[in-house]
Amino acid sequence: GGEIFVRITVLGLGYVGAVAAAALARDGHQVLGVDVDPAKVERYRRAEVPFYEPGLDELVREGVAAGRLRFALAGEVEPGQLGDFVFVAVGTPSRATGAADLSQVEAALAWVAERVRRGRPAGAGVLRAGEAVDPQGGAGSSDGVGAADRVAMAGTEATAGTVWPAAAGGLRAPIVVVKSTVPPGTGRRLARRYLAPLGLAYVANPEFLREGSAVHDWFHPDRVVVGSEERAAAERVAALFAGYGAPVLVTDTTTAEMVKYGANAFLATKISFINELANMCDRVGADVEEVARGIGLDPRIGSQFLRAGLGYGGSCFPKDVAALDHLARVYDYPFELLRAVIAVNARQRLLPLYALREVFGSLAGVPVAVLGLAFKPNTDDVREAPALDLIPLLVEEGAEVRAADPQAVERARAVLPGEVRLTPSALEALDGARAVVLATEWDAFVRLDWEEAARRMDEPRFVFDGRNALDPARMAALGFRYRGVGRGR
């Protein structure tokens, strides 16, 4: 009731952008998803999602069918089609130094600025964000939202596969909402350079959703963080998420950016901490799973993100922790704790290699199965996946490696040595293997018919459970030689 539906452009259709676009369309807004990749846009127009994310296909199909979700190539978008908000959800990959590569974010802001500039009648003055312009020139009425929303609601009858027709009543200055993770300080600098000259507001709105449960996370956020130098703009963005019932933090741009890095760095620290504790457990003869339970019951510690194993991977933690470390260096601040987090994580993913050497001596000719290529279950994302660091080293030492993953085989094939046999089926990978490394705790692997696996494998049936996901007693009973991480040797 009383909700105002707006027009939103989402720039960048990776998993954050695609989820944002489809979810905002579900909420009732008119959303235009934009990307620079024609193949991607083509697939979205057919209501297909070009990567695996549970629940997203349905959401996209629904939005497209309802006519609230459309897609366009960046070059096709005309001034006047941007709407009230432009969400930027492009990638910020790592450079070799660890610094975040901001070129896509800069290109996105330049893209917005260029369209706003082209859409402005010559001689129009600088507008404040949210103000409407009337095409005859001069600033529009200052009743802000009312006039602007009349503009926004005009021309919503575009047909599927096209972009929005230019707003009939005039052009309005969109609020630019940056979801991409950028180092603290970036937003203020880029806003000054690209947006301030046009009077456009920049709002940092970090995203906390997890791959594999991104759709659920979008609709059930723990908190909403919006940061801007222009509080009114930040509050308008926060209002979009009011229905989600989460606490809202409205702050300045740089602080909002630091919240994102702080959250990811802290979670990564928790993981490296439990991994170091696990390594100690192996040495003193304690069980890290019980230790995690024991310490996690203290609400000041909390039970989540205390799963010991091969460490964190994915498109976020490694990149964001490296970027914060790089930022610390730039500011001549030695963030020692963070460096240890990175070092522990790098070593952790090689534990199976050290264990296999211990068991077999030389790995030459040893058939080893690796289960799990995705960096975690329920995704086909292999970025910074532990298995992709581990497998080439096993191959180098002469092991005969076969690997299985329910979703990530295609993506892994592109980056793994050609001699690695890849299959979606764990049992097929295990056939004739003498050792198996569980690298990703997919349900299909945890619930595998391990009795059948034992029959198919050869002595000594060594299992390195890199996620502590299997039951050691049961595995021993089935004739496996079991080793986990921090569960004793």
Binding site for ligand UGA (CB under 6 A): 181, 207-211, 264, 267, 271, 305-307, 309, 311-314, 316-317, 320, 375-376
CA angle 195, 197, 201 (to 5 degrees): 35
- Dist. CA 433–CA 310, nearest whole Å: 21
Are 468 and 354 in contact by the 8 Å Cβ rule? The answer is no
- Residue (219 or 305) nearer to ligand UGA, CB: 305
Residue 328 C-beta: closest distance to ligand UGA, Å: 18
Residue 208 C-beta: closest distance to ligand UGA, Å: 4
Of the residues 10, 31, 47, 316, only one is catalytic, namely: 316
Residue 19 C-beta: closest distance to ligand UGA, Å: 11
- Residue 131: both structure tokens together: 């103000």
- Residue 37: both structure tokens together: 């990749």
How far from the centroid of its chain's Cα atoms is residue 226's Cα?
A: 18
Residue 435 C-beta: closest distance to ligand UGA, Å: 21
Residue 233 burial (CB < 10 Å; 0-12/13-18/19+)? buried
Are 114 and 206 in contact by the 8 Å Cβ rule? The answer is no
| Backbone region of residue 109 per phi and psi (left: phi > 0; alpha: psi in -120 to 50; beta: other values) | alpha
- Dist. CA 184–CA 100, nearest whole Å: 11
Kindly write down the DSSP assignment for every residue of 130-168, as one continuous string: T-EE-TTSSB--S-THHHHHHHHHSS--PPTTSPPPPPS
- Residue (156 or 279) nearer to ligand UGA, CB: 279
Residue 273 C-beta: closest distance to ligand UGA, Å: 10
316 is catalytic: yes
- Residue (313 or 486) nearer to ligand UGA, CB: 313
- Residue (65 or 415) nearer to ligand UGA, CB: 415
- Residue (181 or 407) nearer to ligand UGA, CB: 181
Distances (CA, A) of 240 to 9, 63, 85, 237, 368: 14, 17, 10, 5, 51
Catalytic residue set: 316
